[in-house]
Chain A
Amino acid sequence: MSKAQKNELAPWVEKYRPQILADIVGNENIVERLKVIAKEGNVPNIILSGPPGCGKTTSVWALARELLGDKVKDAVLELNASDERGIDVVRNRIKTFAQTRVTLPEGRHKIIILDEADSMTEGAQQALRRTMEMYSKTTRFALACNQSEKIIAEITENGLKLEPIQSRCALLRYTKLTAAELMSRVVEVAKAEDVNHDDGGLEAILFTAQGDMRQALNNLQATVNAYEQVNKENVLKVCDEPHPDLMIKMLAYCVDGKFFEASKIIHEFHRLGFSSDDIVSTLFRVVKTVELSKRVNEQLRQEFIREIAMCHMRIIQGLSSKLQLSRLVADLCRVSASV
């Protein structure tokens, strides 16, 4: 009873986290390979990298569950970035775990999952290297990190590098989920929770999530909690995003060279209290993904993105005034006229 109740209150992200590899959407290449490995055993040390909400941790846990069956509790150690992960932790905690005996079938290994491995200290990474080799007979490592580029890039800003670790792991690079992949899962969850939804609402959820499954499910749940009905208006209200329809209208004015009408809309966003940053990022997403009028051809779209990018750059550098937004509108009108 209490368990069911607890389940009821659990975030949907957790409640509907895929338990087996077959349920994971997206990144088929990698998941297929993991499935084979789950059957055969002898998983190498792996690094999983990719943007947030694309199923890295889920895959590792699903893999662990399929590999280890009911032993999963004893044979998996997970360390998060929030856990202390200095050199001593790597030395002692990981090592103690690596040395404990768990009877596993042949070809199966204990698994240590290090989430957000890119945030580990240099010294800890160095220490990990050796540990990885020493216990390879009994223990395998799965490292998840958010931005692979950050550790793969030849020269990084803070000098954080995993080179020696990378050499010891097979790297799996996850990509952002596509709209279709997100949609399939969101619809499943909506059905399972018996959510009152319409197409516009789901579209808005995809629009706000931008390929992040965690975000998509959170937004869905938040909307249901707040309004029951999942439609476009409610989703945008919950996520507190500037309304994309108005943005489309604004762009249409820009294409027609109607500067004042277009400015009115963007000033309205400003008056409503959206930060310039939010307005511009949403505008970018609209221009990038939404079908605009026929007159916005490829070239104009590219020019639009370019102007928005320049404006965004000024904003992050500190010029987030209303004037900059007006300038953006003027720029958009100008490029529309010139193309």
Chain B
Amino acid sequence: MHMERGVEVTDLSIWYGQKLVLKNVSLFANRGEILGVIGPSNSGKSSLLKCINRTLEFIPRARVEGSVRVEGLDVSAYSAHSLRRKVGMVFPLPVGLPLSIYENVAFAPRMAGIHRKVVLDELVERCLRQSALWDEVKDRLGMLGSKLSGGQQQRLTIARALSHEPEVLCLDEFSIAVDPVTTMRIEDVLTDLKKSITIILVTNLVQQARRLADRVAFINDGKLVEFDLTDTIYGEHPREKLTFDYVRGHFG
């Protein structure tokens, strides 16, 4: 079966100044699948995500070689704004904008020129439902987003990342500040979401990738060690011994 490539990374290398943080990485994420990216901290996983929505450009002295394609088109072919609307991002620590819960979710659509209240109301509710937050906040949408608990704020940022109807959703260790119950709920949300979009899940939790991902990329020390179907990576015979050791916790 031919799958549509949501994201395709080819020979990607990233330098911060003289320091090479990612070396010749090639991988892809299909629409309708979740790509799990695992590996120890500081291995270059987050930098990879920053290339996908071109926020790496904000880092002084960062340099990129190779190509990243989103929905078949090189990221440099998009304007930064339209690219970032196509790619939703969720970071380890939630950043609630200093706005109400409602406005946090309505922010991106507003910035894209959607102002009709009916449309926004509907969109806010849908995104908050998708991020499993609606029931907890539906009676206090006017409250400041930053007054929510850590786990709720993280779901709020997921709602915000969904609010611009992205084709690709990247999550960078979203569960660091979230309790296990909420984590499970978000994981259910992701499983549901992957039917319609491409999801890239960067995680330190080896088992989380195993639970959710269809394919897994193992990155260690800036290099792609192995990239294969989840069953192969976690099975008895991954191609690399390093992968075998890492997913079983013998290393790192």
A interacts with B: no
